[in-house]
Amino acid sequence: MVNHLRIFGSLSYRHIPDERRRKLDNKSEALILVGYHPIGAYKLYSPLKQQVVISRDVVVDETAAWKWDNESKIPSSFILEDNPRTKDVNPASSMQPPVRRL
């Protein structure tokens, strides 16, 4: 059977078990598929941690790839766009202390 074969270099998401994360942590981690392990798991590379991990609980997105030219090394799906309404607003400068009159 070859139904588990995926395209090397694809963006993959490894599930992080409940025991290894806190309440507001992400449930998955974005990694790069680099190979297969003999036990039937996937070998995944983390550019942020610069290490290879082995996991069976993986979702592979064969249509997406890691953006290597990005300085922050975060996949483009994780980068949020600036909201033009809140871009120029500085909450510290917009809040003026109340004027006291005697």
pLDDT digits (tens, 9 = 90+) for 17-57: 999 999 999 998 989 998 888 888 899 998 888 899 999 99
Q: Identify whether the C-beta of residue 49 lies closer than 8 Å to the C-beta of residue 36.
A: no
Q: How far apart are CA 31 and CA 96, in angstroms?
A: 46
Domains of the chain, earliest start first: 1-66 (2.30.30)
- Banded model confidence at residue 2, pLDDT cuts 50, 70, 90: confident
Q: Could you read off the pLDDT of 4-24 as tens digits, one per residue?
A: 778 788 889 999 999 999 999
Q: Identify whether the C-beta of residue 59 lies closer than 8 Å to the C-beta of residue 28.
A: yes
Whether the model clears a pTM of 0.75, i.e. scores above it, the answer is no
Q: Quick one: CA torsion of 41, 11, 63, 36, rounded to 10 degrees?
A: -20
Would you state the structure tokens that stand for residue 79, as one six-digit string? 């980068």
| Region at 40 (left for phi over 0; alpha for psi -120 to 50; beta for the rest) | left
Q: From the centroid of its chain, how far is CA 71?
A: 14
Q: Identify whether the C-beta of residue 33 lies closer than 8 Å to the C-beta of residue 7.
A: yes
